[in-house]
Amino acid sequence: MIPPRARINTEPYQTRKHRPDYGLFVLSSILLAVGLIVMYAISPALAAKGGNVSDNYFIIRQLIAVFLGFIAFFVFSKVPVKFWQKIAKPLLVSVFILSILAVLTGGREDLRWIQAGPLSLQPVEFVKLVVVITFAGFLAKLASDGKLTDKKSWRVPLIIVAGLIATIVFLQRDLGSAVVLLSVGLAMLFVVGMPMKYFMISLALIVSVGVLAVISTPYRMQRVATFLSPTKDCSADESYHACQALIAVGSGGVMGVGLGRSIQAYGYLPEAENDSIFAIFAEKFGFIGSVVLLAIYGALLLRILTIMQRAPDRTSQLIVAGVFTWFAVQALINIAAMLGLIPIKGITLPFISYGGTSLLFSMAALGMVFQISRYTSLRKIVYNYEPKKEQPNESDRHWRGNSRPRYTVTRRSI
Partner 1 sequence: MKTNNTHTSKFDRTLLLRGGLFLVGAILLVQLFIVQIVHHDYYSAAALAEHVKKFEVSAERGKIYMNDGYATVPVVLNEKKYLVYADPKYIQSSDYTAEQLQQLIGGDLNQLEELLKKDTRYVVLAKKVDRSVADRIKEQKIKGVGLKEISVRTYPQGKMASQVLGFVNDDNQGQYGFEEYYNQQLSGKNGLQQKITDINGVPLAINNNQEQQDPIAGDDVTLSLDLRMQKIVEERLQENVTRTSSKSGSAVLIDANTGKITAMANVPTYDPSQYASQPDISIFLNTATNGAWEPGSVMKPLMMSTAFNEQKLNPGSTYFDKGSVQISDRTIKNSMEWGARNMSMNDIITKSLNTGAVYMMQSLGGGQIDEQARTTWYQYLTERYGFGRSTNIELAGEQGGSVIGPKDPDGVAVRYANMSFGQGLTVTPLQLAAAYAALINGGTYYQPSILSSVKTSSGEQAVPPKVVKTNVISPQVSQDIRAVLQLSASQNNKPALRDGYAIGAKSGTAEVVGDDGAYKTDAYNGAYIGFIAGKDKAYVLIVRLDEPKTSGFASAQAAIAWAAISNEVLNIVPIAPM
Residues lying near partner 1 in the complex (CB under 8 A) are found at 11-14, 45, 48-52, 144, 187, 190-191, 193, 234, 246-254, 260-261, 263-264, 266-268, 282, 286-287, 290-291, 294, 298, 301-302, 305, 308-309, 313-314, 321, 324, 328, 332, 335-336, 339-341, 379-384, 387, 390-391, 393-394
Closest separation in Å from C-beta 323 to partner 1? 12
Q: Which is nearer to partner 1, 96 or 199 (CB)?
A: 199
Closest separation in Å from C-beta 324 to partner 1? 7
Phi and psi at 116, nearest 5°, equal: -135, 95
Q: Which is nearer to partner 1, 155 or 197 (CB)?
A: 197
Closest separation in Å from C-beta 290 to partner 1? 5
Closest separation in Å from C-beta 95 to partner 1? 26
Of 44, 111, 23, 119, residue with least CA distance to 272: 44
Chain center to CA of 22: 18
Closest separation in Å from C-beta 7 to partner 1? 15
Closest separation in Å from C-beta 201 to partner 1? 17
Closest separation in Å from C-beta 389 to partner 1? 8
Q: Which is nearer to partner 1, 120 or 217 (CB)?
A: 120
Distance CA 71, CA 109 (A): 30
Of 209, 235, 236, 204, residue with least CA distance to 222: 236
Q: Which is nearer to partner 1, 163 or 386 (CB)?
A: 386
- Given a contact cutoff of 8 angstroms between Cβ atoms, the answer to whether 132 and 184 are in contact is yes
Q: Which is nearer to partner 1, 87 or 341 (CB)?
A: 341
Q: Which is nearer to partner 1, 34 or 381 (CB)?
A: 381
Closest separation in Å from C-beta 31 to partner 1? 15
Q: Which is nearer to partner 1, 66 or 282 (CB)?
A: 282
- Given a contact cutoff of 8 angstroms between Cβ atoms, the answer to whether 287 and 313 are in contact is no
Q: Which is nearer to partner 1, 136 or 213 (CB)?
A: 136
- Given a contact cutoff of 8 angstroms between Cβ atoms, the answer to whether 403 and 11 are in contact is no
Q: Which is nearer to partner 1, 126 or 326 (CB)?
A: 326
Closest separation in Å from C-beta 144 to partner 1? 6
